[in-house]
Chains A and B, each alone.
Chain A
Amino acid sequence: QKEVEQNSGPLSVPEGAIASLNCTYSDRGSQSFFWYRQYSGKSPELIMSIYSNGDKEDGRFTAQLNKASQYVSLLIRDSQPSDSATYLCAAHLTNFGNEKLTFGTGTRLTIIP
């Protein structure tokens, strides 16, 4: 099992709909999770951090964390063509004992106008 796993996609969503991106992780002790957006040819940019079970909202973005199920998700409401990008999930896995983050391979999202 990969330590941080995402569906690679591509995921296609109509403009204005909700895009749902999912991520699972292997380390039950993990406490810190991050979502990054990466446009084609560019570097990743941080869009959300989440540390507690439940939902965290920031504008059109909602991160959801369920530690019992070892599951993190990112919802994008009112999807726009500018949301088309690859979304990377990252987790701090406690078994390394340092500041390293482990990244998933990313889900490519396409918003269809």
Chain B
Amino acid sequence: DGGITQSPKYLFRKEGQNVTLSCEQNLNHDAMYWYRQDPGQGLRLIYYSQIVNDFQKGDIAEGYSVSREKKESFPLTVTSAQKNPTAFYLCASSRNSGTGDQPQHFGDGTRLSIL
């Protein structure tokens, strides 16, 4: 079955530690996205990538980093510079039509908490 796989489902970060969230898709989608969702809040875009080896900052990129070395994979690193990392992290992907008419499909998310 095609889909988006995020791992781990739950993650705990110690003070000063970098942690990496995995996102893999087998939908053959060109575009991938990372969002952060805080309790009772909407989705805030962290980073997005429309093509391999290229990515752009979203609205809240500070304290995060990404790479896009393969079409299927878009890992997100939450660095120690992100002082308030506790949130629900969602990865999404979409086809790249050039007209913005493609919906995004989401993985099941990773919950990150501070120890």
- Identify the A interface with B (CB < 8 A): 31-32, 34, 42-46, 49, 51, 88, 90, 92, 94, 98-101, 103-106
Contact = CB atoms under 8 A, between A and B. Distances in A.
A103 B43 contact: yes
A106 to B, nearest CB: 6
Chain B interface bracket (under 10, 10 to 19, 20 to 34, 35 or more): 20 to 34
B101 A101 contact: no
A43 B50 contact: no
Nearest to A4: B42
A22 to B, nearest CB: 15
A46 B102 CA distance: 11
A92 B100 CA distance: 6
Contact of A88 (B42, B45, B97, B99): B42
Contact of B42 (A49, A100, A106): A106
B13 interface: no
Q: Is the interface of B mostly helix, strand, loop or mixed?
A: loop
Given A31-B99, A43-B90, A88-B43, A101 B104 contact: yes
Q: Is the interface of A mostly helix, strand, loop or mixed?
A: loop
Interface stretch (B60-68, B78-86, B106-114): B106-114
A53 to B, nearest CB: 15
Most buried by B among A32, A99, A103, A106: A99
A94 B100 contact: yes
Contacts of A42: 108-109
Contacts of B90: 43-44
B108 A100 contact: no
Contacts of A106: 42
A44 B96 contact: no
A95 to B, nearest CB: 11
A5 B90 CA distance: 21
B108 A32 contact: no
